[in-house]
Amino acid sequence: MTSLSQSPKAAQFALIFITMIWGGTFLAVQYALNFSSPMFFVGCRFAVAALAILLISIKSMRGLTLKEILAGTAIGVVIAIGYGTQTIALQTILSSESAFLTALYVPLVPILMWLIFQKDLL
């Protein structure tokens, strides 16, 4: 069996497939907002994800230090705020607009790093 790293076409297909699934989640979230509030939906989404991660990696999580747990919690809070803000925005803008604005991080991160740090990143 060939791994994705050995097959560029398979890797490209996987990337396209995952991108299509990611794009479809914007429609799913916008539809789900007809039945729940944005923060309740995000909370449920994070609870399901946390349970899945816990079940999958409980053995490897036993050795975590308090510092690592606090860092993970801080990152989780920031991500939850981001998802919450994005989900609230889906009440007033189209899912395609939200997906486009979200995807802008790809070109914006290197541009902002270049502007902030004033040096070539390549």
> In the prediction, which pLDDT does 61 show?
85
C-beta separation of 29 from 90 below 8 A: yes
> In the prediction, which pLDDT does 95 show?
86
Q: How far is CA 66 from CA 14, 40, 50, in A?
A: 36, 28, 18
Cα–Cα distance between 92 and 98 in angstroms, integer?
10
pTM value is 0.69
> In the prediction, which pLDDT does 74 show?
96
> In the prediction, which pLDDT does 121 show?
67
pLDDT digits (tens), the chain, 122 positions: 556 667 888 889 998 999 889 888 888 888 888 999 999 988 998 999 999 998 999 888 888 999 999 999 999 999 999 999 999 998 899 988 988 988 898 899 888 888 998 877 66
Domain ranges (residues) in the chain: 4-117
In degrees and rounded to multiples of 5, residue 121 shows phi and psi of -100, -5
